[in-house]
Chain A
Amino acid sequence: MLKLAWRNLWRNYTRTFIIGSAIAFSYAMMLVSLGINSDSHGKLRDAAEVAAGGNVLIHSEGFWESQASDLVLQNPTELIDQARAIPGVAELIPRILINGLVSSSRGNEPAHIRGILPDKERLLSDVSTNLIAGEFLGDTYPSPIVLSQNLVEKLKIELGDKVVLTASTPDGEVTRALFHLDGIIKSGVAGEAGSIAYTTLAAASAAVQMQDRISQIGVLAAPGFTPEMLAKNLKQTLPTGTSDALEILTWEQAIPEMKGLLEFDQAFGYIYLFVIFVIVLLAIANTFLMAVMERVREYGLLDAIGLTPGRIGQLVVWEAALLGAMAIVVGFVVALILHLIIAHVGIDLASLGADDVEMAGVGLSDMVIRSRFEADRWFFGGACVFVIVMISALYPALRAMRLAPAQAMRFYE
């Protein structure tokens, strides 16, 4: 039966080649799209975590929503010591976040200033790689500030120039502090990401009189811990829900737009694949049906010499299985080659015009999309394609089974 099915497959080389190529091409495109999708989603998640400030964020209750200067973490040292012992915590990054007005002699601009410990911050993301001029929070000035190119151009200042930050203290007083422009980073992205500025934790603390208080702790998860697991562990140990309660958010809770966007993109991808598969299914079914109708007399002959209808159906199904298996192998090889090329060369979004694009507040300017091989998804995809091919062969097989032998033998091609 297998031999007969195999030879039947090669009766019409052109047809087998065309339909086999269609299956192989669809499968290859599916795998490449899965690979790119997987990598881009991973990078968007990473970028979103960087934009949020960690896998999990700890603030004073209500800070993330209101960004109010009075909602601060009162005893950060104690909190950090306590959090360090919690399973899943790899690193804790303290920050002071200030929303204020940066002024130069030639202008004023709103800015989001992050007071950071550069060495700690580097564990999440090395912002200094975006430096295009000056230093990244060096020792030259007591109160250094690094601004985006966007802000520098608007304020019309140069390295070493003074800027004044006007912001609120935790006690509700408006205060002003002097900074020196220490470095310029490329802004690259539009909107909020372009108004971010960096200073040291100490300078920020002094500027808005935080004393020992901070605004945020970014928490990095240890390998094997998801943000959800980490947040759960933190919530179980740290005080939440009381008057001096903490707010513990995963990055997905902090940037829900990004989560929704990724889910939408994934759902859209599945719908797209579903439509492609339905088209492929109908094309294969049509081709197999044509092949069956071309061989009506032959099925009649097989029936007459003792092949049961069930085995005639099996013959058609075997043909589909062999074609599907061959096409999947070819498709896999093609996809693997494309995957290796894309994984090596990458797709630079900036070169595609995404240098001024952000998604849900996350900049895409530096993103080079590559392909990521995920064995389980690729093999699952292969299994899906095989199942589709087999489903498409069912109706033609049923038609072959239902051919009445006496009528089939009278059928002339």
Chain B
Amino acid sequence: MTIEKADKPLIRVRGVRRTYMQGTVEVHALRGVDLDIYPGEFSALAGPSGSGKTTLLNMIGCLDEPSAGQIFIGPDEVTHLNRTAGAEYRLKHVGFIFQAYNLIPVLTAWENAEFVLLLQGVGEAERRRILDPLFERVGLADYKHRKPHEMSGGQQQRVAIVRAIAPSPRVVLADEPTANLDSATSTSLLDLMVELNREQGVTFLFSSHDALVLERASRIVSLDSGLIVNDTAHPNIRQPETVP
């Protein structure tokens, strides 16, 4: 596999602020954030609870709108997409993994994973071609027809990973994906994501304060009170990568 460093950022965050009212109190969740994420990165937004990491992740995923500033994904500005455009953008370019309640309870593991592909209009044969190896890869080939409540938390998160990467998004945004898992399951899950990042060049951006996540991240962006207070890259541990 040929690996080369990308030199243009995939995600550009410029002067992003987010203010909202909590009752009569004005809360400044983000106070002016600048950030570049490169293709193939395995990065983490770290910080204490309330530091603004989930808010920033939501902004990048177009789930929330900044009060000020700009956000670009590739060449596209996504700062103020309306609800429909935001959903369509996520469908095509962003994969999401959440802390909990990741799967649709009435659908099987396979149906959950193929849901996004179905929305994209991918045909059945193509869906099988994409999903079969991914289910094999995450070790859930025998769990395809199980409903979420018939699987463990770790297995559910693996299905969520398959769903997130199956449509080959530009970036996978993972909001505290290990928060509800024991350490053995978390380790196994993170190792899987690291491998997918290395093998398939999937760009991952985490929001987490879990040490297991942070020790695997190639770059840690620390936030506190809505500001980036530290941005530590580890180019010697793992370079941002792309797959040709």
Judge if A310 is at the interface, Cβ distance under 8 Å: yes
A-chain residues with CB within 8 Å of residue B179 when the two chains form the complex: none
Could you tell me the distance between the alpha carbons of A336 and B27 in the complex, rounded to whole angstroms?
A: 62
- Let me know if B84 and A406 touch, CB within 8 A: no
The answer to whether B116 and A305 have CB atoms under 8 Å apart is yes
Q: How far is the CB of A7 from the nearest CB of chain B, in Å?
A: 4
In the A-B complex, the 9 residue pairs with the smallest Cβ-Cβ separation, listed nearest first, are: A306-B91, A7-B106, A406-B64, A308-B87, A406-B63, A308-B84, A405-B63, A406-B58, A304-B96
Q: Is B63 a contact partner of A306 (Cβ separation < 8 A)? A: no
Output the nearest chain B residue to A409 by Cβ-Cβ distance.
B98
Count CB-based A-B contacts (< 8 Å): 64
User: Which of B91, B101, B120 gathers the greatest number of chain A CB atoms within 10 Å?
Assistant: B101
| 0 or 1 for each of B83-97: is its CB under 8 Å from A? (1 = yes) | 110011011100010
B163 is an interface residue with CB less than 8 A from chain A: yes
Residue of A8, A304, A311 with most chain B CB atoms under a 10 A cut-off: A304
Known: A4-B106, A4-B107, A406-B64. A308 touches B83 (CB 8 A): yes
Within 8 A of B (CB), among A1-54: 3-4, 7-8, 10-11
Tell me the minimal C-beta distance from A71 to chain B in angstroms.
78
Interface string of B145-173 (1 = CB under 8 A from A): 00000000000000000010000000000
CB distance from B86 to the nearest CB of A (A): 8
Q: Which chain A residues numbered 306 to 354 have a C-beta less than 8 Å away from chain B?
A: 306-311
B102 touches A301 (CB 8 A): yes
Cα A307 to Cα B107 in complex, Å, equals 15
Bound: A10/B105 CA distance, A: 12
28 A-B pairs within 8 Å (CB atoms) are namely A3-B107, A4-B104, A7-B107, A8-B106, A11-B105, A298-B105, A301-B101, A301-B102, A303-B63, A303-B87, A304-B96, A305-B90, A305-B91, A305-B96, A306-B87, A306-B88, A306-B91, A306-B92, A306-B116, A307-B119, A308-B88, A309-B87, A310-B84, A311-B119, A404-B64, A405-B83, A406-B64, A409-B98
Of A3, A11, A309, the residue contacting B84 (CB under 8 A) is A309
Chain B residue numbers with a CB within 8 Å of A394 are: none
> Whole-angstrom distance from the CB of B172 to the nearest CB of chain A?
12
CA A8 to CA B107, docked complex, whole Å: 9
Separation in Å of the A1 CB from the closest CB of chain B?
9
Which of the listed residues B91, B92, B104, B105 has the most CB atoms from chain A within 10 Å of its own CB? B104
- 4 extra interchain contacts, Cβ-Cβ under 8 A, other than A305-B90, A305-B116, A306-B92? A4-B107, A11-B105, A304-B96, A305-B91
Closest to A407 in B: B64
Docked-complex contact A301 and B61, CB < 8 angstroms: no
Cα of A405 to Cα of B175 in the assembled complex, Å: 14
- Answer whether residue B115 sits at the interface, using C-beta atoms and an 8 A cutoff: yes
Question: Closest approach, in angstroms, between the C-beta of B94 and any C-beta of chain A?
Answer: 8
Contacts of A7 in B (CB 8 A): 106-107
A297 in contact (CB, < 8 A) = yes
Instruction: Tell me if A302 counts as interface (CB < 8 A to partner B).
Output: yes
CB nearest to A306 among chain B residues: B91
Q: Which residues of A contact B63 (CB under 8 A)?
A: 303-304, 405-406, 409
Q: Which residues of B are found within 8 Å of A311, using beta-carbon distances?
A: 119
Complex contact A307–B87 (CB within 8 A): yes
Residues of B within 8 A of A306 (CB): 87-88, 90-92, 116, 119-120
**Which residues of the other chain, B, contact A298 by a CB distance below 8 angstroms?**
101, 104-105
A8, A309, A409: the one within 8 Å of B83 (CB):
A309
A217: min CB distance to chain B, Å: 73
> Who on chain A is nearest to B93 by CB?
A306
- 0 or 1 for each of B68-94: is its CB under 8 Å from A? (1 = yes): 000000000000000110011011100
- Assess the A305–B58 pair: CB atoms within 8 A: no
Contact of B115 among A297, A305, A405, A406 (CB under 8 A): A305
> Complex: how many Å from CA A188 to CA B184?
91
A94 to B111, CA, bound (A): 80
Question: Which residue in A301, A302, A307, A309 is a CB contact (below 8 Å) of B98?
Answer: A301
Question: Which residues of chain B come closer than 8 Å to A3, judged between CB atoms?
Answer: 107, 111
Complex-state Cα separation, A3 to B163, whole angstroms: 18
Contact partner, B90, options A297, A304, A309, Cβ 8 Å: A304
Is B163 touching A304 in the complex (CB atoms < 8 A)? no
Q: How does the 8 Å CB contact mask read for B34-66 relative to A, with 1 for contact and 0 for none? A: 000000000000000000000000100101100
A309: chain B residues within 8 A (beta carbon): 83-84, 87
The residues of A that contact B90 with a CB separation of less than 8 Å are 304-306
- Nearest CB in chain A to that of B92: its residue: A306
Q: Which of A3, A297, A298, A409 has the most CB of B within 10 A?
A: A409
- Least CB distance from B108 to A in Å reads 10
- Tell me the complex Cα distance, A233–B88, Å: 68
**Chain A residues closer than 8 Å to B115, beta-carbon distance:** 305
Given the interface pairs A309-B83, A309-B84, the reply to whether A304 lies near B98 with Cβ below 8 Å is yes
| Chain B residue nearest in CB terms to A303 | B87
Find chain B residues with CB under 8 A from A297 CB: 101
Nearest CB of chain B from residue A224's CB, rounded to whole Å: 55
